[in-house]
Amino acid sequence: MVSFSCPKCCALDIVKRGKRYNKTIVKQLYRCNDCRLTFVEPDGFERMRFNKEKIVRAIHMHEDGMSLSKVQNPLWQHDNVKVTRWTISEWTKKYSVFLKSASSSGKSNNQGQNSS
Ligand SMILES: [Zn+2]
């Protein structure tokens, strides 16, 4: 399992796919099992910003009670994001933590205070 998602469809189902040798630099190649895109290891999460709104929207739709297959439809038709239900399920697991921590800040502000 890798720690980043596909730059195109944000799927987390990524496999290693050999290496690309470029002079002195060796780049690890990866392939997305969802959209079959082959890409080099991303430098950061900047590229995810493009699809982040879609991920957030999908998570909200799912948490509002929509089934994974119903969340899938608008993503396919409106956003042209072709992902599997498994991927959406992984999004909700991976990103709902961030969404919750962002909306309920100031909950644990007593932690980490060491009185000497
Ligand atoms: Zn992909």
Spacing, Cα 89 to ligand 1 middle (Å): 15
Spacing, Cα 111 to ligand 1 middle (Å): 39
Residue 76 has what pLDDT? 82
Spacing, Cα 38 to ligand 1 middle (Å): 8
Question: 67-95: per-residue pLDDT in tens?
Answer: 999 999 988 888 777 788 988 898 888 87
Spacing, Cα 9 to ligand 1 middle (Å): 4
The pLDDT of 9-36, averaged and rounded, is 86
Q: Are 9 and 51 in contact (CB under 8 A)?
A: yes
Spacing, Cα 81 to ligand 1 middle (Å): 9
pTM of the model: 0.48
Q: Where are the domains of the chain?
A: 14-102
Instruction: Give the list of residues 6+ apart from residue 70 with CB closer than 8 angstroms, or none.
Output: 61
